[in-house]
Amino acid sequence: MSAPGRAPLYGVRVLDISTLFAGPLAATFLGDFGADVIKVEHPSKPDASRGHGPAKDGVNLWWKTLGRNKRTVTLNLGQADGAAVLLELVRSADVLIENFRPGTLERWGLGPDELLAANPALVIARVTAFGQFGPYSARPGFGSLAEAMSGFAALTGEPDGPPTLPPFGLADGIAALATSYAVMVALRSAEATGRGQVVDMAIIEPILMLLGGQITAFDQLGTVQPRTGNRSVNNAPRNVYRTADDEWVAVSTSSQSIAERVMTLVGRPELVDEPWFSSGHSRAQHADELDEAVASWVAARPTAVVLEEFERAQAAVAPVYDVRGILADPQYAALGTVQTVDDDELGQVKMQNVLFRLSETPGAIRFTGRPHGHDTEEVLDEIGITAEQRAALRERGIL
C-alpha cells in the first residue's frame, strides 16, 4: 500500500452522487489512485447497489468493492437545505459524478449553472443511459439496454440461438472506464484553463467502440456481422474446446504464426499449405475443418497436458476459469490481482486490486466499502457545518 501523498490523485476531491454501477464505478477507479471520494446517498434510500448480489450477515459483498476508498455521507438533495449543503461541498470539490435523469438536478437547483457558479473549475460528469438530449434522453435505462442497442447482444450467442445479454454489467463497466478517462481529460483542461465543464456520458455509446468496425463495414460493404458463438469472423481456429477430463480451454489464433503453430501441434500441418490458410478472414470461412482438428486433439488429452503442449509450441491457450480458478492461478497471484483487505464488518475480504500498476505512484485499496452514512459527521464538519446545524438537518430528514 502506498503512502497517501504518493498517490497520483491525492488532493483531488470527487463527489459521487450517482447510483448503481456506471457512475459509482467510475468514482471507484478515481478513488483507487488517491482521490478523496465522498459518496452522497439519500438518508432513507441508499445506493441500490448495496442491495445487489449476495450478502453475509446482512452486509452486502459487492458494495465492499464498489464502495472502497469512499467516505459515505447522507444528504437529501431533493430538499432545499440538502441542496445548499451539496453546494458547500462543491466549493471544495474538483469533480461531481451524477446519473439522475436529465432535468432532475436542474429541478433541485443543482444544475450545471448553479454548480459552476459555486465552483467554476468543477468537472461535472453526467452519466445516463441515453445522454442529456435526444428523443430517448428522458427514458429510464440501464446497461442491459446499451448491450442490446449497441449490437453486442445481436453478436453474442450461437448462430441458431437468441441474442444473448451478459450476466454482469458489461456496458456499465465500459462506461465507467470511459467516464473516469473523460474526467481525467477534463481535469487536465481545468488545470490549464481554470474552467470546469460538463461531461455528457451516454452508456449506449462507449460499448460501440469495443465492438470494432461494424459501423464502417456496413457503411462501406453493406455487411452485418452474424452471431458466430465462440467463433470469430476474423480468424480461426478460435473457440473453446472440451478436454479429456471434462474441462474447457480457449484457443485463439489472431496472428498467422500462432495459427500455423496450432495446426502443426494438433497434427494437421498440411492445412497450413492451403491457399485459404494465409489470412485470418479466409481461415474463418473454414472454421468447421479447423475446429474439428483442434477439438479432436484436445478431447484426447487432459487439461494439464493440453496447456503444457500448447506452451511448448508457443501457441495461445488458456483454461476457462470460474472464480475458483482465478484464485488458484499463479499468474494472477504473481500480479497481485486479488488482494486481501481488512474490513471493519467482515474482518478480511478478498477483492480485485486496482486496475493497473504504476511504478512510481501506485494506487491502493485504503479501505473497503463503508456503511451507509458512516462519514457524514466528519465530512460536514470539514466544510464548517456545526454539530448544532447537523442535528437540525437530521431532525428535518436532510441527513
- Find out whether 214 and 151 touch, Cβ atoms under 8 Å: yes
What does the alpha-carbon distance between residue 78 and residue 4 come to, in Å, rounded to a whole number? 34
Q: What is the pTM of this model?
A: 0.94
pLDDT tens, position by position, 361-381: 999 999 999 999 999 999 999
pLDDT tens, position by position, 117-135: 999 999 999 999 999 999 9
Known catalytic residue at 172: yes
The domain boundary, picked from 268, 286, 319, lies at 319
Query: CA torsion sign, 106 to 108 to 113 to 119?
Result: negative
Asked if residue 255 and residue 171 are part of one domain, the reply reads: no
Residue at 14 is within a domain: yes
Asked if residue 174 and residue 133 are part of one domain, the reply reads: yes
Residue 295 pLDDT greater than 60, yes or no: yes
pLDDT tens, position by position, 260-279: 999 999 999 999 999 999 99
What does the alpha-carbon distance between residue 66 and residue 64 come to, in Å, rounded to a whole number? 6
Residue at 236 is within a domain: no
Q: Is 74 exposed, middle or buried (0-12, 13-18, 19+ CB in 10 A)?
A: buried
Asked if residue 252 and residue 165 are part of one domain, the reply reads: no
Asked if residue 148 and residue 108 are part of one domain, the reply reads: yes
Q: Which stretches does DSSP call E strand in 51-195?
A: 55-56, 59-60, 70-74, 95-98, 123-128
Residue 1 pLDDT greater than 50, yes or no: no
pLDDT for position 6? 77
Residue at 223 is within a domain: no
Asked if residue 390 and residue 273 are part of one domain, the reply reads: no
Residue-averaged pLDDT of the chain = 96
Residue 3 pLDDT greater than 90, yes or no: no
pLDDT tens, position by position, 142-189: 999 999 999 999 999 999 999 999 999 999 999 999 999 999 999 999
Residue at 271 is within a domain: yes
- Find out whether 335 and 264 touch, Cβ atoms under 8 Å: no
Asked if residue 313 and residue 346 are part of one domain, the reply reads: no
pLDDT tens, position by position, 215-234: 999 999 999 999 999 999 99
| 394 grid coordinates | 437530521
- The dihedral region occupied by 103, where left means phi > 0, alpha psi between -120 and 50, and beta the remainder, is left
pLDDT for position 175? 98
Asked if residue 147 and residue 22 are part of one domain, the reply reads: yes
pLDDT for position 375? 98
Q: Is 23 exposed, middle or buried (0-12, 13-18, 19+ CB in 10 A)?
A: buried
The domain boundary, picked from 294, 319, 344, lies at 319
* Active-site entry in 16, 36, 47, 172: 172
The phi, psi pair for 340, rounded to 5°, reads -100, 125
Asked if residue 9 and residue 50 are part of one domain, the reply reads: yes
Residue at 141 is within a domain: yes
The domain boundary, picked from 289, 319, 349, lies at 319
Residue at 139 is within a domain: yes
Q: Is the peptide bond before 237 cis (omega within 30 degrees of 0)?
A: yes
Q: How many domains does the chain have?
A: 2
| 210 grid coordinates | 469495443
pLDDT for position 100? 96
Asked if residue 337 and residue 315 are part of one domain, the reply reads: no
Share of the chain above pLDDT 70, in %: 99
Residue at 252 is within a domain: yes
Q: Give me the mean pLDDT over the 307-334 stretch.
A: 97
Range of the domain at 31: 4-209+333-395
Asked if residue 202 and residue 87 are part of one domain, the reply reads: yes
pLDDT for position 356? 96
Residue at 342 is within a domain: yes
Report the CATH number that the domain containing residue 196 is assigned in CATH: 3.40.50.10540
Asked if residue 296 and residue 391 are part of one domain, the reply reads: no
* DSSP code, position 272: G
Asked if residue 14 and residue 134 are part of one domain, the reply reads: yes
Three-class SS state of 348: strand
